[in-house]
Amino acid sequence: MPEVVHDLHGHAVPGLAHHFDNLEQQREATTLGMWVFLVTEVLFFGGLFVVYAVYRNWYPEAFAAASHELDVMLGGINTAVLITSSLTMALAVHAAQTGKRNLVMLFLIATMVLGGVFLGIKSVEYYHKFVEHHIPGPQFEFAEKELARHAQLFFSLYFLMTGLHALHMVIGFGIMLWMLWWTYRGTITNEYYSPIEISGLYWHFVDIVWIYLFPLLYLLGRHGAH
């Protein structure tokens, strides 16, 4: 543990790093830094969403037909699971701010469990796609032969986008584990809860990516001819 820092009035502030004036400034700097990182993430995923928009615009029939192959029920359940995990994450931050250590740990575990359920359902979906030969490549098969070529494009984007999202979930799971350890050993207090707060920002961001992925990938081919 670092040496306890005193503020400008000589009061000991255990959660304060020496290069900040006070906890408020320290928190603002931490939050801002995380947001700057999230901006790069927005543009990182944004590029993929643009690729999706271009190809969907060029091959609407193939994209609608391929989207129809996805399981709306599983995708919908996963959306609900992820939204619930965002709630438990928000409640973990609330518990950290109010200094309820046990509740922080409980909500972090709940968030991890829900994240695990999401990844479990996702792997069931991936398995179905594997069995149905919907993995892009030489073994790819599609019922409507004339659309197969462009349906592969949809599935390439599906696996790239949901895969990258799932990777973020796995990283988020690791971060939650780390925060659980920090909370357990007493690093997290109602003065120094920024780590929980910015881990939450990351988790909610990953939730937002899914909020767009679900309708764009699963729901676009639900009405009309297919």
Partner 1 sequence: MARTDAFNHAHHVVPKKIYYTIFGLLMFCTLLTVQIAFMDLGPFNTIAALVIATFKATIVVLFFMHVKYSTRLTWAVVLGSVFWLGILITLTMADYLTRAWRTFG
Report the SS3 class of residue 222.
coil
114 lines the binding site for partner 1 (CB under 8 A): no
Give me the residues paired with residue 13 across strands. 5
* 99 touching partner 1, by CB under 8 A: no
The residue to which tokens 């390439």 are assigned: 156
The amino acid at 8: L
Q: Which of 62, 66, 70, 89 binds partner 1 (CB under 8 A)?
A: 89
Beta strands in the chain (DSSP E): 5-6, 12-13
Interface of this chain with partner 1, residues 137 to 176, rule: CB under 8 A: none
Collapse the DSSP code of 13 into the 3-class scheme (helix H, G, I; strand E, B; otherwise coil) and give the result. Answer: strand
Whole-number Å distance between alpha carbons of 192 and 128: 45
Among 61, 68, 71, 72, which residue interacts with partner 1 (rule: CB under 8 A)?
Answer: 72
CB under 8 Å to 149, separation ≥6 — which residues?
Answer: 62
Helix-helix angle 148-184:101-131, to 10 degrees: 160
Backbone φ, ψ for residue 13 (5° rounding)? -125, 95
Q: Based on the shown chain and the rule CB under 8 A, indicate whether residue 112 belongs to the binding site for partner 1.
A: no
Task: Tell me which of 28, 132, 144, 146 binds partner 1, using CB under 8 A.
Answer: 28
Q: In the set 4, 17, 32, 167, which binds partner 1 (CB under 8 A)?
A: 32
> Taking CB under 8 A as the rule, does residue 19 contact partner 1?
no
Binding residues for partner 1 (CB under 8 A): 7-9, 11, 13, 16, 21-25, 27-28, 31-32, 35-36, 38-39, 42-43, 46-47, 49-50, 53-54, 57-58, 72, 76, 79-80, 83-84, 86-87, 89-91, 94, 97-98, 191, 197, 200-201, 204-205, 207-208, 211-212, 214-216, 219-220, 222-224
